[in-house]
Amino acid sequence: MASHAHHTNEFDETAPLAKPQTKVIWKTFFILCGLTAIEFAFAFMMDAGTLRNAIFIGLTLFKAFYIVAEFMHLKHETKGLIWAVLIPTVLLVWLLVALLVEGTFYGESVFNYFQ
Amino acid sequence: MSQTTTFEQPNTGTWDGGNEPFKASYGKLMMWFFLLSDAFTFAAFLTTYGLARHRHKAYEGTPEAFTFSTEWWPIPEKVFNAFPGFHGVDWPLAFVALMTMILILSSVTMVLAVEAGHRMDKNDVQKWLLWTILFGSMFLGCQAWEWTHFIAGTEEGMKLADGSVIHGANLLVNQYGPPLFADLFFFITGFHGTHVFSGVVLLIMIFINTVNGVYHRRGHYEMVEKVGLYWHFVDLVWVFVFTFFYLV
């Protein structure tokens, strides 16, 4: 247990337990529920289209931010860890968009060639 | 001489070894990097979904006049509109909304278990882990129902040009639209469901350890944190699957 040397095995068994700190957790929960409700509102009250899809993706990224930052606690980690996770993810999104754009173009040109 | 002086001075920089530059243990860091690599897998699925969808025509009429056809990609609220116990009733996306709520709730109970672990509160850790296992299993049950319904199909089915009717979906034929739609449904929600299943297994393992006092004797509940990271990631993936499969 060398990596946990800062933890002690001999803590006081009789010490009173600290009070739960759950305010932020429930706040995040209500934000996530609210964002999901907004997504449903858009799904039923707005016609399908590029704008609606953009709204969906934006709200999804918001939800992802709250899950990763608060539930996974990344916001409170060191800067180095935040960047180590964030930079590959951003590059991954770039790859995804590039594959979709290029792939769609390529797919269409091959498809049209054999028409 | 200059060599001995360098040996006498210990290296104390952040990256000189002997400390934790990210202030996170090895196990936690490796969980983060595993999750990053897992994100690559799901990104590949979403890319495939996007490309397959682009290769098919989008439905252009009004939602009311929608019918299933292999000509166009189906609109999700017409495919996922069934609810257990309400046979034949059109409740678009209601069941998937329920599943989303269950998974978000399970994420909350998980983070409450992690918080209880920080306070060394064994009883609270047990309580919240049990809730998380319950919600996780509920989600799996919902998915089993949804798959069953998707595979069995509706009574109307899809009429083909030769007069025959297809009910339900498998990897080859699909009453809801192009076969690729069903294939991607099985692969994407199936992969996510497998992750939920592994998560529930991990949760049961750490629940048994917590009850036996393994983490209490160890002096910290870091294992709960690591499994918690995995569990939140599963929730995160669902957020994206939900958007791209059920909404867009």
Q: What's residue B8's pLDDT?
A: 65
Q: What is the pLDDT of residues A74-91, one digit of tens each?
A: 999 999 999 999 999 999
Better-scored residue on pLDDT, B187 or B17: B187
A40 shares its domain with A72: yes
What is the pLDDT of chain A when averaged over all its residues? 86
What is the average pLDDT across B220-238?
96
Give the structural domain span for B226. 25-247
pTM over 0.90: no
Quote ipTM for the complex: 0.85
Residue A43, in any domain of the structure: yes
Q: How far A67 CA lies from chain B's nearest CA (Å)?
A: 7
Q: What's residue A14's pLDDT?
A: 60
Q: How far B234 CA lies from chain A's nearest CA (Å)?
A: 11
A26 shares its domain with A69: yes
What is the average pLDDT across B110-120?
95
Tell which A residues from 37 to 96 touch B, by Cβ distance under 8 Å.
39-40, 43-44, 48, 53, 56-57, 59-60, 63-64, 67-68, 70-72, 77-78, 80-81, 84-85, 88-89, 92, 95-96
What is the average pLDDT across B45-67?
88
A71 shares its domain with A88: no
A102 shares its domain with A66: no
What is the average pLDDT across B144-151?
94
Q: How far B236 CA lies from chain A's nearest CA (Å)?
A: 6
A83 shares its domain with A64: no
Tell me the C-alpha distance between B157 and B219, whole Å: 59
CA B196, B201, B205, B210 torsion: positive or negative? positive
Q: What's residue B228's pLDDT?
A: 97
Q: What's residue B57's pLDDT?
A: 86
What is the average pLDDT across B171-177?
89
Q: How many domains does chain A have?
A: 2
Asked if A30 has any chain B CB less than 8 Å from its own CB, the reply is no
What CA–CA distances, in Å, run from A20 to A12, B121, B214? 18, 9, 22
Residue A2, in any domain of the structure: no
Tell me the C-alpha distance between A103 and A64, whole Å: 26
Nearest CA in chain B to A71: B111
What is the average pLDDT across B193-206?
97
Residue A11, in any domain of the structure: no
A27 shares its domain with A68: yes
Closest CB from A18, A64, A96 relative to B236: A64
Q: How many domains does chain B have?
A: 1
Asked if A23 has any chain B CB less than 8 Å from its own CB, the reply is no
Q: What's residue A11's pLDDT?
A: 54
A36 shares its domain with A72: yes
**CATH code at B194?**
1.20.120.80
Q: What's residue B67's pLDDT?
A: 84
Give the structural domain span for A102. 78-115
Q: What is the pLDDT of residues A24-59, one digit of tens each?
A: 999 999 999 999 999 999 988 888 888 999 999 999
With a cut of 70, say whether residue B182 has pLDDT above it: yes
Residues of A in contact with B105 (CB under 8 A): 29
**Coil, strand or helix: which one is B120?**
coil
Q: What's residue A73's pLDDT?
A: 92
**Coil, strand or helix: which one is B124?**
helix
Q: How remote is the C-alpha of A85 from its chain's centroid?
A: 12
What is the average pLDDT across B172-181?
90
A39 shares its domain with A55: yes
Residue B5, in any domain of the structure: no
A84 shares its domain with A102: yes
Mutation to test the A interface, candidates B29, B57, B100, B111, most A Cβ within 10 Å: B111
